[in-house]
Structure 1
Amino acid sequence: MSTTGATADPLVALGALPGVAESVESVRKAVDRVYGHRVMRRRSNEITSEAALRGARGSAALSGADWALEEVRRRSDFSGDDEARAVGAALRLTAEAGQLLSVWRQTPLRVLARLHLVAAADRTERTGRVDQTDRIDGAEQVGRPRQAGEAVDEPLVELELPTAGEAHGRLEGLSGLIVAGSAAPALVQAAVVHGELLALRPFTSYNGLVARAAERIVLVGSGLDPKSVCPAEVGYAELGRAAYRAALDGYASGTPEGMAAWIGHCGAAVTLGARESTAVCEALQRGAA
């Protein structure tokens, strides 16, 4: 998507694409349903915690670590193989995203750098600092956009990789849109942030996890899902990796049909996430969970 356009609020036009209004309405109804559940009035913190866990599991599954929910719940050490590190990164990002809401609208690039630093924490020293001493493999690439010649580890995304220069330029454009604000529906804004970060893959690793965490920040910060109980990551995992890739291809095409399909896919994922938490509410009400 080009983030430089003649209109003051280019995202508004995306909200008018065929099918997008229907996706926005479907998401709103699903979100209203879970927020209106009687369990949410008494035990919303439990629903938020469970949604965070399930969302992290879903995001990790998309990145190739498709663990059972109970395994994610049980484990405490995620320092083993690549799958374990991906699950650990997803859990850390879910916890961190809620701490960055106030910063996002002012300095989104700083938030993205922080998200990558948190995701790739296993590549830095335990303090989280990256300096000229005590480096380990890949530490110098953590918490900053990739530079020319640096490889990107993101096997799920098969799109042509933009150059580092193009990625930097489009990141600045995306940041400008976020800071300026938009009257477009929250779903549209979240879908654009998610899709643009996946298309750009601005970091050398964990781009998918970072993109989905950024989408979560938009959905929560916009007020659509203020308690973070509608984990879109659950929906993306349920819809499957093939559908995720196909929808992302539509985003990258930049065509109205492709953009609408991507936004619709994101909307379907949020709706499924909301339904997941509604089911958790029902289980709690029955005393079964």
Structure 2
Amino acid sequence: MRTNATPAPSTDPLAALGALPGVPEAVASVRKAVDRAYGHRVMRRRAIEVTAEAALRGARGSAALSGADWALEEVRRRTDFGADAEARTVGAALRLSAEAGQLLSVWRQSPLRVLARLHLVAAGGAADGGVVGRPRLAGERTDEPLVRAPLPDAAEVNGRLEGLAGLIVAGGSAPALVNAAVVHGELMALRPFGSYNGLVARTAERIVLIGSGLDPKAICPAEVGHAELGRDAYATALEGYLSGTPDGLGAWIAHCGRAVELGVRESTAVCEALQRGAA
């Protein structure tokens, strides 16, 4: 991550981001929303069902941002995800959503291994225009239409991925929302893989939110919120991250916070439907 923000004295370089404009309020608002969702009476008896539904809706939202904006019931109904590009995108999002919870224990020790695994899962083991399961090499390209910045070269990608991995392994005092937003934003900035970078980045954000303890049952799908806020808002917020300015970084983190809150709202609606017997 590149930042022009003045760091506060701390062993955690991300801790300073928690004090950027709008970030403390976003962190507090997300924590309050998540606590309300976990306090819903349905969560005491049917948390597994809420988690499963959140995974499905999160996958649908992430696929929508990547250009496959299918209705939820179509995602739920379909079994063939290899027919065309949109179907492959939805299939990749579903596989990643299912895989995320299996990688939590590895993430804190070897995040680069997890990212490689996520790309392999997204691609379904098929090359699909490039080698899977490893970052781009010199001369290899990728495409992510929601990022308007130039594509970093392979050397920069490798260096920044190593730096990001070092921060994750070291841990720190930054709030979960800040960590998740930085991981998401950095992966979108780097676009390290030959394909499916957006899907991988949003899955990594989910892993951080779950593994941090903020959302241990995975019932707050930020992907739903990102999709609801829209592709234009997502791209604009990413530009803020890429700028490295305090205001830009703060706006990106706050945007991710709003996405989590909208995910919470979605799962709260699922809880209400389950309580009424409608789902």
| TM bracket, shorter-chain basis | over 0.9
Q: CA deviation at 1:264?
A: 0.2
1:180-199 alignment, distance < 5 Å? 180-199=170-189
SS of residue in 2 equivalent to 1:152:
coil
Task: Select between 8-17 and 147-156 the one with higher mean Cα deviation.
Answer: 147-156
**Residue 129 (structure 2) pairs with residue 138 (structure 1):** yes
| Aligned mates of 1:99, 1:193 — CA distance in 2 | 18
**Residue 245 (structure 2) pairs with residue 255 (structure 1):** yes
Contact 1:79 1:122 (8 Å CA) reproduced: no
The aligned counterpart of 2:31 is 28
The aligned counterpart of 2:92 is 89
**Residue 16 (structure 2) pairs with residue 8 (structure 1):** no
**Residue 221 (structure 2) pairs with residue 231 (structure 1):** yes
Contact 1:65 1:87 (8 Å CA) reproduced: yes
1:71-150 alignment, distance < 5 Å? 71-121=74-124, 123=126, 138=129, 141-150=131-140
The aligned counterpart of 1:171 is 161
Task: In structure 1, give the amino acid aligned to 2:173.
Answer: A
| Aligned mates of 2:184, 2:162 — CA distance in 1 | 15
Q: CA deviation at 1:159?
A: 1.5
The aligned counterpart of 1:44 is 47
Contact 2:125 2:132 (8 Å CA) reproduced: no
Task: In structure 2, give the amino acid aligned to 1:2.
Answer: R
Q: CA deviation at 1:7?
A: 4.8
Q: CA deviation at 1:196?
A: 0.2
CA 1:114–1:122: 2 relative to 1, 3 Å: closer
| Aligned mates of 2:47, 2:11 — CA distance in 1 | 38
Superposed CA deviations along residues 218-245 of structure 1, whole A, max 9, x for unmatched, are: 0000000000000000000000000000
The aligned counterpart of 2:195 is 205
Superposed CA deviations along residues 233-281 of structure 1, whole A, max 9, x for unmatched, are: 0000000000000000000000000000000000000000001000110
Task: In structure 2, give the amino acid aligned to 1:159.
Answer: A
Segments of 4+ moved more than 6 angstroms: none
Instruction: Give structure 2 stretches of 5+ with no counterpart.
Output: none
Q: What TM-score results when the alignment is normalised by the length of structure 1? A: 0.93
| Aligned mates of 1:156, 1:20 — CA distance in 2 | 23
Q: CA deviation at 1:156?
A: 2.2
Superposed CA deviations along residues 96-125 of structure 1, whole A, max 9, x for unmatched, are: 11000000000000000000000011515x
Contact 1:251 1:259 (8 Å CA) reproduced: yes
SS of residue in 2 equivalent to 1:37:
coil
Instruction: Give structure 1 stretches of 5+ with no counterpart.
Output: 125-136
| Aligned mates of 2:203, 2:80 — CA distance in 1 | 21
The aligned counterpart of 1:66 is 69
| Aligned mates of 2:143, 2:108 — CA distance in 1 | 28
Q: CA deviation at 1:51?
A: 0.1
Q: CA deviation at 1:160?
A: 1.2
Contact 1:174 1:193 (8 Å CA) reproduced: yes
Superposed CA deviations along residues 69-95 of structure 1, whole A, max 9, x for unmatched, are: 000000011001100000000000000
| Aligned mates of 2:146, 2:94 — CA distance in 1 | 19
